[in-house]
Structure 1
Amino acid sequence: MHKKQKGEAAVITLVIVMILVMVGGLFFGLPLWNRWRAGIGGEAELRQAEFNRQIATLEAKQELESAEYLNQAEVLRARGVAEANRIVADGLGGPDGYLRYLWIQGLSKGSTPQVIYIPTEAGLPVLEAGKR
C-alpha cells in the first residue's frame, strides 16, 4: 500500500505542479496576449481609417469632376442661347425687334391680366387711366 500512496502522492504533486505552471503561464501570457490583441486591433483601425480617407478623397475628386462637367455644360448652354438670341434678333431687325417679338409672345401666352404702360408723345406712360 505504501507504493500505492507514493504513486497517488506523485500524481497529486504532478497535478498541483501542472496547475501552478498553468496559473504562472496565465500570469505571464495574458498580458502578452492582451498587448498583441490590442496591437492587431489598432492596426485594423488604422487600416480602416486609411481606407475611409481614400474613399473621402475619391468622392471629393468625383464631385470636382462632376462640377467641372456641369460648368462646361452650363457654358455651352449659355453660348447656345446667346447664339440663338443673336440669330433671332438679327432676323427681326435688331434688339428692338426681338424685344417686341418677345413682348408679343408673352401677351399671347399670358393667361393672367397684365397692366401695360403705353408711352405717350412726351415719353411719359399713361398710368392706369381707365381705373380712375
Structure 2
Amino acid sequence: MSGTAIVGIIILIFVTGFGLLAGCPAYNVYSQEQAGRAALAEAQSSRQIAVLEARARLESAKMLADAEVVRAEGAARANRILQDSLGGPDGYLRYLQIQAIDAKDASIIYVPTEGGLPLLESNRLAPRTSPAP
C-alpha cells in the first residue's frame, strides 16, 4: 500500500465517522418521536381498557339490580298468595308466628294474650314442696 492509499483510507474512515456523528442528533430526534408515539398508543389503549371495564361494571350493576327487583316481586307475590289463603294479614302473621315457634328449640314458649301480655307460668316451674301438715 502506498502512502496515498493509507491517507485515503484514513480520510474515508474520518468522513464516515464524522457522518455517523452528524446523523446522531437526527436519529435521537427520530428515536424520541417513536418513543412518544409508543407512549401515546399505550395511553390510548389503557384509556380504552378502563372505559370498557367501567361499562362492564355498569352493566353488571344494572343486571344485579334488575335481578333483585324480580326476586322482590316474586317474594311479594308469594307473600300475597299466602296472606290471601290464610284469611288476611292477621292469619298470615299468625302463620309466621307458628313458623318461628317451630324453628326454635325451646321448652317454654310464651304466647301473647288478647291484652298483649304473656301468660306467666311461674308456679309450674317452682320446685314442689310437700304441703305442711
| CA-CA distance at 1:78 after TM superposition | 0.4
Provide the rounded CA distance (Å) in 2 between the counterparts of 1:115 and 1:19.
Answer: 109
In structure 2, the residue matched to 1:19 is 13
Provide the rounded CA distance (Å) in 1 between the counterparts of 2:108 and 2:19.
Answer: 97
State, as a whole percentage, how many aligned pairs show the same letter.
Answer: 48
2:106 to 113, 121, 126: 113
> Taking structure 1 as reference, are residues 8 and 63 closer, same or farther at Cα in structure 2, changes over 3 Å only?
same
TM-score of the aligned structures, taking structure 1 as reference length: 0.81
2:24 to 19, 25, 30: 30
Provide the rounded CA distance (Å) in 2 between the counterparts of 1:53 and 1:117.
Answer: 64
TM-score of the aligned structures, taking structure 2 as reference length: 0.80
Per-residue CA shift, 1:5-60, capped at 9, x if unaligned?
Answer: xx611211111111211221122111211211111111011101101100110111
**Alignment map for 1:18-97 (pairs within 5 Å):** 18-97=12-91
Q: Which has the higher helix share?
A: 1
> Taking structure 1 as reference, are residues 122 and 68 closer, same or farther at Cα in structure 2, changes over 3 Å only?
closer
Deviates more, 1:119-128 or 1:43-52: 119-128
Q: Which runs of 5+ in 2 are unaligned?
A: 127-133
Provide the rounded CA distance (Å) in 2 between the counterparts of 1:128 and 1:26.
Answer: 108
Provide the rounded CA distance (Å) in 1 between the counterparts of 2:5 and 2:107.
Answer: 112
Amino acid at match of 1:54: Q
1:10 aligns with 2:10: no
CA-atom RMSD in angstroms: 2.3
> Taking structure 1 as reference, are residues 84 and 120 closer, same or farther at Cα in structure 2, changes over 3 Å only?
closer
Aligned residue pairs total 125
Provide the rounded CA distance (Å) in 1 between the counterparts of 2:125 and 2:37.
Answer: 82
| CA-CA distance at 1:127 after TM superposition | 6.3
> Taking structure 1 as reference, are residues 51 and 121 closer, same or farther at Cα in structure 2, changes over 3 Å only?
closer
In structure 2, the residue matched to 1:100 is 94
Per-residue CA shift, 1:74-100, capped at 9, x if unaligned?
Answer: 101101100110111010011121121
